[in-house]
Amino acid sequence: MLLLRAFAVLCVFVLFGGSSQAAELERPEGAVVVTVAGAIENTNRPAFDANKDFFLKYHERSFEKAVEFDTAMLAALGMHAVEINLDAWPEPVYVQGPYLRDLVGAVGGAGKTVTLVALDGYASEISWDDLQGLDWVVGLRQDGRPLGLGQRGPLWVVYTYPDGRALTADDELRWPWATFYIEIK
3-class state of residue 71 by DSSP: helix
The H or E element spanning position 9 is helix 2-15
Q: What are the phi and psi torsion angles at 23 (to 5°)?
A: -125, 150
Enter the pTM of the model: 0.86
**Nearest C-alpha neighbor of 97 from the set 72, 122, 67, 68:** 72
Query: Within 13 Å and on the Cβ side, how many CA atoms surround 164?
Result: 0
**Which pLDDT does position 21 carry in this prediction?**
56
Per the prediction, the chain carries an average pLDDT of 89
* Residue 81, strand partner residues: 96
Residues 101-137 have pLDDT tens digits of 999 999 999 999 999 999 999 999 999 999 999 999 9
Please say if the pLDDT value at position 6 is more than 80: no
CA distance 73 to 85: 28
**Nearest C-alpha neighbor of 137 from the set 74, 67, 68, 66:** 74
Report yes or no: 94 and 82 within 8 Å, Cβ to Cβ: yes
User: Domains of the chain, with CATH numbers?
Assistant: 2-184 (3.90.420.10)
CA distance 7 to 14: 10
The H or E element spanning position 179 is strand 179-184
pLDDT band at 40 (very low <50, low <70, confident <90, very high): very high
Q: In the chain, what's the furthest Cα-to-Cα distance?
A: 48
Report yes or no: 136 and 101 within 8 Å, Cβ to Cβ: yes
Report yes or no: 37 and 104 within 8 Å, Cβ to Cβ: no
